[in-house]
Amino acid sequence: MILRSGGLVFIALCFAASLAAQESDSTSEGNREIAKVAGQVEGMTEQVLAIQAEVDKAKKFKWSGYVQVRYEAGEADRDTVRVAGAPPTFTSSNLERFFIRRGRVKLTYDTGELSQAVVYFDGGTDRAIRLLEAYVSISDPWTPLRQHQLAIGQFNVPFGYEIERSSSIRELPERSRAENVLFPGERDRGAKITSRWTPQFETVVAVLNGGGVNHPEFPNTDPTRGKDLVGRARWSQGIFDVALSGYAGRNTTPLTGPDVETDKTRLGFDGQYFYDFPVLGGGSLRGEIYAGTDVNPDSVKALVTTPSSSNPNRLLRAGAVADHLATDFLGWYLMWVQNIGERFQVAARYDSYDRNTEVDHDQFERLNVGVNFFYDGNTRFTIAYDMPTTDVSAGPGRFTDPHDNTWTLQAQHKF
C-alpha cells in the first residue's frame, strides 16, 4: 500500500515537473512571441513615420483650380455675341456658341509659416495657356500672427473689392465694366505689403509696373523708373465692410518724337452690407465707385494722327493739347445678392462706366441678372442675362441702344 502510495506521489511529482517544464517552455515561447510582435510593431512604426515624413512633404504642395464652361447666345439673329473682357470682343459669325471662359490651375508651395510661392495658370478663352499669377510671399517673423506679408511677383492689383475676388466665387459671370476697362486682366507685376493691424483692419501698399497683364506690350511695358503706386485700407466688420483705394501713375502715349505722358489716377470706395433672413438665408448689398483720370482711346483717336504709308508719323494734330489725351472718368455699380435656401442664389447688378464725364453718349450702362444653383460642394450652374445700354449714333443727334443682350449658361467645377 505504502509502495503504491509512494508510486502515485512519484508519478504526480513527475507530472507536476513535466507541467512546470511545459509552462516554463510556453512562457519563454510567449515571451519570444511578444518580443517578435514588439519588433514588428517597432518596425512598422518606423515605416509609418517614414511615410508620414513623405506625406508631410507632399502636403506642402496645394493644388486648386476651377473650370468654367459656357453656352452663350446673342439676343437676336442679327446680333453679335459679346465675349467678355475689355475692350469687348464682338463676333458676328458665332451667334450661339460653347465657350471655355476659364480653366485655371493654381499651385501653392507652403513651407510653413514664413514663406510660400504661388504659380497660377489659365487655359481658357483662346486655348493659350497664360501665367496669371506667380509670386513669392514672405511673412514677418516678429509678430506671432504674421500680420505683415510681402509679396513680389505678378498678382492681383490691390484696389477695390471685385478685382481680388475670385471669379470662382463671384455671383455673376463677369466683373463690372469700369473694372474691366481700368484694370484689364486684374493683374500686374510689382511688390506689395499687406498688413493686418487687427482682425478687422487691413492695409495694402503696392508698387507696380503699371501696364497690367493685358497690355499689348506686357511684360515689357513701362521699363522706366516711374512706377505706379496703389494702396487700400479696408475695415471688415463682418456685417458691414468698407474700403478706400487710391492709385497714382502715369500713362505714356507713344508719338513720333517725344512721347506724351498723362495722369493715371484712380480713387475708389467700396462697401458691402450683409444680412440674414431666418428662412430664406443670407443676402448682401454692395456698391463700388471708381473715379479719376485716364488716357481716353477716343481722345487719342481724335487728337493724334494715324500713321499711313504717305505719312508714317504719329503726331498730335494741329492745335491739340497733350493733356486732353486723358479725361476724367466715373464708374460705379450697385449689386444685390440673395441666397434662397442652401442651393439657390439670385443676383442683380446695375453698373455704369463713363470714360469722359464731360461728354454725353459715351457712357456704358448695364443691368445683369443671374441665378446660381449649387449642385454640390464643388459644382454650380449659372444662368445670367446681360442687358447693356450703349449709345450708337444713328444720325445727327439720334442715338439708339443696339440689340446686344446676352444669355449665359455656365457650369463651374472648383477643386
Assess 61 for contact with another protein (CB under 8 A). no
Could you say which residues in the range 96-155 bind another protein, by CB under 8 A?
A: 112-113, 144-146
Assess 235 for contact with another protein (CB under 8 A). no
Query: Residue 247 Cβ, how far from another protein at the closest point, in Å?
Result: 24
Query: Residue 377 Cβ, how far from another protein at the closest point, in Å?
Result: 3
Q: Which of 7, 343, 394, 399 lies at the binding interface for another protein (CB under 8 A)?
A: 343
Query: Residue 282 Cβ, how far from another protein at the closest point, in Å?
Result: 3
Q: Using CB under 8 A as the criterion, what x/- string covers residues 191-230 for binding another protein?
A: --------xx------------------------------
Query: Residue 386 Cβ, how far from another protein at the closest point, in Å?
Result: 12
Query: Residue 389 Cβ, how far from another protein at the closest point, in Å?
Result: 16
Query: Residue 411 Cβ, how far from another protein at the closest point, in Å?
Result: 11
Assess 256 for contact with another protein (CB under 8 A). no
Q: How far apart are alpha carbons 194 and 43 in whole angstroms?
A: 47
Q: Which of 239, 302, 359, 394 lies at the binding interface for another protein (CB under 8 A)?
A: 239
Q: Which is nearer to another protein, 189 or 232 (CB)?
A: 232
Assess 392 for contact with another protein (CB under 8 A). no
- The residue type at 390: T
Q: Could you tell me which stretch among 61-69, 298-306, 368-376, 390-398 binds another protein (CB under 8 A)? A: 368-376
Q: Which is nearer to another protein, 269 or 385 (CB)?
A: 385
Q: Could you tell me which stretch among 73-81, 176-184, 224-232, 292-300 binds another protein (CB under 8 A)? A: 73-81
β-bridge pairing 379-390 and 392-393: unpaired
Q: Which is nearer to another protein, 262 or 382 (CB)?
A: 382
Query: Residue 146 Cβ, how far from another protein at the closest point, in Å?
Result: 8
Contact in structure between 345 and 169 (CB atoms under 8 Å): no
Q: Which is nearer to another protein, 36 or 361 (CB)?
A: 36
Q: Which of 344, 350, 365, 367 lies at the binding interface for another protein (CB under 8 A)?
A: 344
HEC sequence for the chain? CHHHHHHHHHHHHHHHHHHHHHHHHHHHHHHHHHHHHHHHHHHHHHHHHHHHHHHHHHCCEEEEEEEEEEEEEECCCCCCEEECCCCCEEECCCCEEEEEEEEEEEEEEECCCCEEEEEEEECCCCCCCEEEEEEEEEECCCCCCCCEEEEEEEEECCCCCCCCCCCCCCCCCCCCHHHHHHCCCCEEEEEEEEEECCCCEEEEEEEECCCCCCCCCCCCCCCCCCCEEEEEEEEECCCEEEEEEEEEEEEEECCCCCCEEEEEEEEEEEEEEEEEECCCEEEEEEEEEEEEEEECHHHHHHHECCCCCCCCCCCECCCCCHHHHEEEEEEEEEEEEEEECCCEEEEEEEEEEECCCCCCCCEEEEEEEEEEEECCCCEEEEEEEEEEEECEECCCCCEECCCCCEEEEEEEEEC
Assess 279 for contact with another protein (CB under 8 A). yes
Query: Residue 317 Cβ, how far from another protein at the closest point, in Å?
Result: 44
Q: Which is nearer to another protein, 126 or 342 (CB)?
A: 342
Assess 64 for contact with another protein (CB under 8 A). no
Name the nearest CA neighbour of 182 among 252, 267, 89, 255. Answer: 267
Footprint of another protein (CB under 8 A): 49, 52, 56, 73, 75-77, 112-113, 144-146, 165, 169, 199-200, 236, 238-239, 274-276, 278-279, 281-284, 337-339, 341-344, 371, 373-378, 381, 383, 385, 405, 407, 409
